[in-house]
Amino acid sequence: ILCGYKAVKEALVGQAEAFSGRGHIAIIDPILRGKGVVFANGKSWKALRQFSQLTMRDFGMGRQSIEKQIQEEAQCLVEELRKSREKVQMEIDRVIGSHHLPALEDRAKMPYTDAVIHEIQRLGDVIPLGIPRSVIKDTHFRGYHLPKDTTVYPILSSVLHDPCHFEKPEAFHPGHFLDAEGNFRTQGAFIPFSLGKRLCLGESLARSELFLILTSVLQNFTLGSPKALEDIDITSRRNGLLKMPPEFQLCFLPRQGVGPGMQIP
């Protein structure tokens, strides 16, 4: 079990090759049988990872074309939903306005929005236990001898809630990602996509989607609740390796001066 940013980074980055295997998950192994880029090992994993990277490049990951695709996806979401938020919307109004679609180039000019998205991911902590690794050879780590094929759990929750790196680890506090002047600052302990050679391949795409979809929705809608806020239970539920949000209802209230192409009666 790896707990805390220093231990997780030391293993998954400092000894990346040794910790690059995928550990066993009893409830998943009989179904997937070590297949797929997430759960494969050895030569099979390396071939699948290379294929996945090439495929995502072909789809335009990180290029302008993928931005267009996500913008279209966000617009479809806005159309479907047409029938710390105020500050984000003020930043959206100031940087993007209501007459053009949010673009990835806007993110650098929207530090508070970027900080809110990062804090949502940090506090959301979707895979608290991380997906297990295994050592692919006999390995020495912090005075311990780990025989080949030892399963290792990098506890991502212990990193994302590490008080040495996050001032208020259990609170929603976008200031974790802002400096004294309000500029966005990176945090090494922000690792919802894990670290090392098994880092999530879709991180770049996911980050782009989160920014473009959230800003597209908040450009056009104000979010509300049919219930009083104090009556909403946001306690997460555990489902195997995942932490799931509870079900609750949201109201999407059209804003005046909606974005381009939005015709809301």
Q: Which residues are annotated as a binding site for heme?
A: 200
- Residue 235 vs residues 8, 77, 85, 245: alpha-carbon distances, Å: 27, 26, 20, 7
**Eight-state DSSP code of residue 12:** I
Which residue has 């929603």 as its token pair? Answer: 172
Angle at 204 between CA 61 and CA 161, to 5 degrees: 170
Question: Binding site, residues?
Answer: 200
Read out DSSP for the chain? -B-SHHHHHIIIIITTTTT-EEPP-TTTHHHHTT-STTT--HHHHHHHHHHHHHHHHHTTTTSHHHHHHHHHHHHHHHHHT---THHHHHHHHHHT-SSS---GGGGGG-HHHHHHHHHHHHHH-SSTT---EE-SS-EEETTEEE-TT-EE-B-HHHHHT-TTT-SSTTS--GGGGB-TTS-B---TT--TT--GGG--TTHHHHHHHHHHHHHHHHHHEEEE-SS-GGG-----EEETTEEEPPP---EEEEPSS--TT----
